[in-house]
């Protein structure tokens, strides 16, 4: 079976960390908020992917 990185919990977890890091570096609160929202969505997707059987 081919590995699909967009369905991999580790992939989504890494993306969440990147978004959190970007948010922390932002000086504009609106932009930081967008990055934090994206991190939250990646965390949700990571949990969803982890619950699936591969």
pLDDT at position 3 is 58
- For residue 51, give Cα distances in angstroms to 2, 8, 9, 13: 19, 11, 9, 14
Domain segments of the chain: what residues?
5-49
**pLDDT score of 2:** 55
Separation CA 36–CA 28 (nearest Å): 12
CA distance 46 to 17: 11
> Could you identify the residue written with the tokens 């969440």?
16
What pLDDT digit, counting tens, does each position of 1-54 carry? 455 666 789 999 999 999 999 999 999 999 999 999 999 999 999 999 988 755
pLDDT of residue 54: 55
- For residue 4, the model assigns a pLDDT of 65
Residue-level pLDDT at 51: 87
């Amino acid at each position: 079976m081919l590995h699909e990185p967009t369905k991999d919990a580790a992939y989504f977890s890494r993306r969440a960390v990147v978004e959190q890091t970007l948010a922390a570096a932002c000086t504009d609160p609106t932009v930081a908020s967008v990055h934090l929202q994206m991190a939250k969505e990646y965390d949700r997707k990571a949990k969803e992917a982890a619950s699936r059987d591969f």
